[in-house]
């Protein structure tokens, strides 16, 4: 059975300007890009192409007779569609009003512009970020397209998504982290991960017995000569190794600097 690919539409969506370096056009496009927070000039050309098609349809209908069936059928349908998107007022019932449309009216109906005008975003660029990061919905539908054309009846339904941290959703990663820090500070602060190593043989033997379950505790005087000192050095090395392994596992880094590792120095061992 032959494979049926998905239908693709290859129609052009914009038309490049004929004069690439016209100063007046470049200044006007730059102003529109900054005012409406557009990503590139192509978004302006796309709106201009849409406006040109609307004006072309209106001009073709105006060439027909007023009683022509095509004009009577397509003329009101075109104006009804433009009124639905807020491009024409309710009292503008002539095709001549379609020819008076400009690019600013179409850019005002973009979702990015509406999010900023309704106060959901701090700036026009912040509005684009909110839309692209899937924080904005229109009715029940989540919309992540800044160039989405908003209808008049859908304009009042623009709000934050129910799953967004700005709405009723779960707080973000930074908010959860700060909340955990405040909760830890309220409970008396975070506890230290590791205890400081003891600096005497008897204390270290007690630490080994309690922490490492090393067996019965004997005082240092009851041990053979030099055995307690050897045991202390061996256990200090084992303690430092275990601490280094825990720190590497918790931070995710490779090796720590020798200045940061807390190992009992030789002077401390001599002073035991």
Q: Are residues 31 and 118 in the same domain?
A: no
119: CATH = 3.10.290.10
What residues make up the domain containing 121?
A: 110-175
Task: Copy the structure tokens of residue 54.
Answer: 């609307």
Residues 132 and 148 in one domain: yes
Model pLDDT for residues 33-76, shown as the tens digit of each residue: 999 999 999 999 999 999 999 999 999 999 999 999 999 999 99
So what's the pLDDT on residue 8? 75
Share of the chain above pLDDT 90, in %: 59
Asked whether residue 231 is domain-assigned, the answer is no
Instruction: List, for residues 228-251, the tens digit of each pLDDT value.
Output: 555 555 555 565 556 666 666 655
Average the pLDDT over 8-22 and give the result.
Answer: 89
What average pLDDT does this structure show over 253-262?
A: 47
Per the domain annotation, does 230 fall within a domain?
A: no
Strand (E) or helix (H) holding 137? strand 136-138
Q: Is residue 194 part of a domain?
A: no
Which residues does residue 159 pair with via DSSP β-bridges, in sequence order? 137
* Same domain as 73, residue 23: yes
Residue 114 sits in the same domain as residue 92 = no
Task: Say how many domains are in the chain.
Answer: 2
**Residue 268 pLDDT greater than 60, yes or no:** no
Q: What is residue 7's predicted lDDT score, i.e. its pLDDT? A: 73
- Among 175, 192, 207, identify where a domain stops: 175
Burial of 264 (0-12, 13-18, 19+ CB in 10 A): buried
- Report whether 99 contacts 58 (CB < 8 A): yes
- Residues near 204 by Cβ (< 8 Å), separated by ≥ 6? 197, 198, 232, 235, 236
Q: Scanning the structure block, which residue is given the tokens 């969506």?
A: 13
Tell me the pTM. Answer: 0.64
């Amino acid at each position: 059975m032959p494979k049926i690919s998905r239908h693709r539409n290859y129609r052009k969506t914009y038309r490049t300007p004929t004069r690439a370096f016209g100063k007046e056009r470049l200044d006007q496009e730059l102003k529109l890009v900054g005012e409406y927070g557009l990503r590139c000039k192509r978004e302006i050309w796309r709106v201009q192409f849409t406006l040109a098609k609307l004006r072309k349809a209106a001009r073709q209908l105006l060439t027909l007779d007023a009683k022509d069936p095509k004009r009577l059928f397509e003329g009101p349908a075109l104006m009804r569609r433009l009124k639905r998107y807020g491009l024409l007022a309710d009292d503008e019932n002539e095709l001549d009003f379609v020819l008076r449309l400009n690019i600013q009216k179409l850019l005002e109906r973009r979702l990015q512009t509406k999010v900023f005008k309704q106060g959901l975003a701090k700036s026009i660029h912040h509005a684009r970020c909110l839309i692209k990061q899937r924080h904005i919905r229109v009715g029940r539908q989540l919309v992540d397209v800044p160039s989405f054309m908003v209808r008049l009846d859908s304009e009042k339904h623009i709000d934050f998504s129910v799953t967004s941290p700005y709405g009723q959703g779960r707080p973000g990663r930074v908010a959860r982290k700060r909340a955990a820090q405040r909760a830890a500070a309220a409970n008396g602060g975070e506890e230290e991960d590791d205890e400081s190593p003891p600096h005497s043989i008897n204390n270290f033997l007690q630490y080994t017995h309690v922490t490492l379950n090393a067996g019965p505790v004997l005082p240092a005087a009851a041990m053979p000569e030099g055995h307690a000192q050897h045991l202390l050095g061996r256990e200090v090395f084992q303690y430092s190794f275990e601490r280094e392994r825990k720190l590497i596992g918790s931070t995710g880094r490779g090796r720590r600097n020798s200045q940061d590792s807390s190992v009992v120095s030789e002077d401390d061992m001599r002073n035991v």
